Amino acid sequence: MSSAASPAPALQIDSPVGEAVRHGLSEHPKRLPAWLFYDQAGSRLFEKITGLPEYYLTRTERSIFAARAGEIIARARDGARLRIAELGAGSAAKTSLLLSAAVELQGAVIYEPIDVSPGILRAAARRIEREIAGVTVAPRIMDYTNGLSFAPPRNGERRLVLYIGSSIGNFEPEQAARLLRRVRSTLRGGDALLLGVDLVKDRDLLLAAYDDAAGVTAAFNKNLLVRLNRELGADFDPQSFAHRALWNGTKSRIEIHLVSRKPQRARISALEMTVDFAAGETIHTENSYKYAPAEPELLLSRAGFEPVASWTDEKNWFAVCLGRVA
Ligand code: AVI
């Protein structure tokens, strides 16, 4: 795909992207970490996924918030004033329901969205301050997976951390446990965590959510190769890879792969690396874990939170669980 006219890529060998690609494509089977999906185009494609008819996750979690936001915030407050932080906030589309409930219960609220993408965060902050009087947005641009700290809230406020949207499902169980323990270590007695978790359900429903008829998830998966072409001067032909979603029942996860349609070689010039693919060989690009009904509470308690309450939709497809620091 690279041509003589395309600008030379910046030397990226020591960048996190370069390191991840060098490492992942040298493994057998080949793999790439899912965080690579989220360049600007990938973040836009993900936003599109959240509105797809097959992608039940976003609308189901939103329906829980629509029905229960007041109760969720009341339980999280436990009589105190809350400020609300959100990990990986993105466009914060569903968060408005919780923020409105907080404003209703306590008059005003400080909202601290945390995300790596400044553009999306800025747009979300503007939208929320415009739409919900009483919310002050204090955005933080950071990668929460690389460390997290919070200034202690003032005036007896408690902090509620939102980790919603099934983001926890993209981590391996051990990493997920470590991340929640790290969140726990940044909080103080009375603070709380609200975790949004996707539950195990019918295999065909799960598969459709990750292989939609319009091909948006396929484009999201292949955009990863487009990113490597742009950022690392690679010459992948995205069309010579197929999108594949499969259900791994043993590990209780959806897996996303890119499957080479033919024997081929790709060159990644910034890494001075060539990668050979056999026909049918895959790059494993994402896992999305689905939890059994009692597992979210276990996740919370193993990380040092006291499970307080859980809410689910009428089909039991998605759960929102509140844990508190004792
Ligand atoms: C961001 N995350 C919760 C999504 C999920 O459902 O695992 C990412 C995604 N991958 C494909 N479609 C959506």
The model's pTM is 0.93
Q: What DSSP string describes 36-99?
A: GG-SHHHHHHHHHHHTSSS-HHHHHHHHHHHHHHHHHHHHHHTTS-EEEEEET-TT-TTHHHHH
Tell me the per-residue pLDDT of 19-38, one tens digit each, with 9 for 90 and over.
Answer: 999 999 999 999 999 999 99
CA of 24 from ligand 1 middle (Å) equals 20
| Closest residue by CA, ligand 1 atom 7 | 288
Q: What's the pLDDT band for 166 if we cut at 50, 70, 90?
A: very high
Q: What's the pLDDT band for 156 if we cut at 50, 70, 90?
A: confident
Please work out whether the CB of residue 25 comes within 6 Å of at least one atom of ligand 1. Answer: no
Q: DSSP label at 8?
A: P
**pLDDT computed for residue 124 by the predictor:** 92
Tell me the per-residue pLDDT of 240-288, one tens digit each, with 9 for 90 and over.
Answer: 999 999 999 999 999 999 999 999 999 999 999 999 999 999 999 999 9
Q: What's the pLDDT band for 116 if we cut at 50, 70, 90?
A: confident
Q: How far is CA 261 from CA 26, 37, 152, 203, in A?
A: 19, 21, 53, 25
**pLDDT computed for residue 219 by the predictor:** 98
What atom of ligand 1 comes closest to residue 166's alpha carbon? 3
Q: What is the mean pLDDT of residues 95-105?
A: 97
| Closest residue by CA, ligand 1 atom 1 | 167
Please work out whether the CB of residue 229 comes within 6 Å of at least one atom of ligand 1. Answer: no
For the cut 50, the answer to whether the pLDDT of residue 3 exceeds it is no
**pLDDT computed for residue 314 by the predictor:** 97
**pLDDT computed for residue 2 by the predictor:** 42
Tell me the per-residue pLDDT of 76-96, one tens digit each, with 9 for 90 and over.
Answer: 999 999 999 999 998 888 999
Does residue 207 contact residue 247 with C-beta atoms inside 8 Å? yes
Please work out whether the CB of residue 60 comes within 6 Å of at least one atom of ligand 1. Answer: no
**pLDDT computed for residue 155 by the predictor:** 81
Q: What is the mean pLDDT of residues 147-175?
A: 93
Q: What's the pLDDT band for 325 if we cut at 50, 70, 90?
A: very high
CA of 319 from ligand 1 middle (Å) equals 16
Please work out whether the CB of residue 90 comes within 6 Å of at least one atom of ligand 1. Answer: no
Q: What's the pLDDT band for 9 if we cut at 50, 70, 90?
A: low
Helix or strand holding residue 203 (H, E): helix 203-209
- 1 vs 76 pLDDT, higher one: 76
For the cut 80, the answer to whether the pLDDT of residue 13 exceeds it is no
For the cut 80, the answer to whether the pLDDT of residue 196 exceeds it is yes
Mean pLDDT, all residues of the chain: 94
**pLDDT computed for residue 118 by the predictor:** 86
**pLDDT computed for residue 14 by the predictor:** 72
- Compute the CA torsion angle 160, 165, 170, 172 (nearest 10 deg): 40
Which of 12-21, 97-106, 221-230, 255-264 is predicted least confidently? 12-21
Tell me the per-residue pLDDT of 289-309, one tens digit each, with 9 for 90 and over.
Answer: 999 999 999 999 999 999 999
Please work out whether the CB of residue 49 comes within 6 Å of at least one atom of ligand 1. Answer: yes
Which residue from 19, 307, 34, 35 is spatially nearest to 180, judged by alpha carbons? 307
**pLDDT computed for residue 240 by the predictor:** 98
Contacts of residue 262, defined as CB under 8 A and 6 or more positions apart, other chains included, come to 240, 279
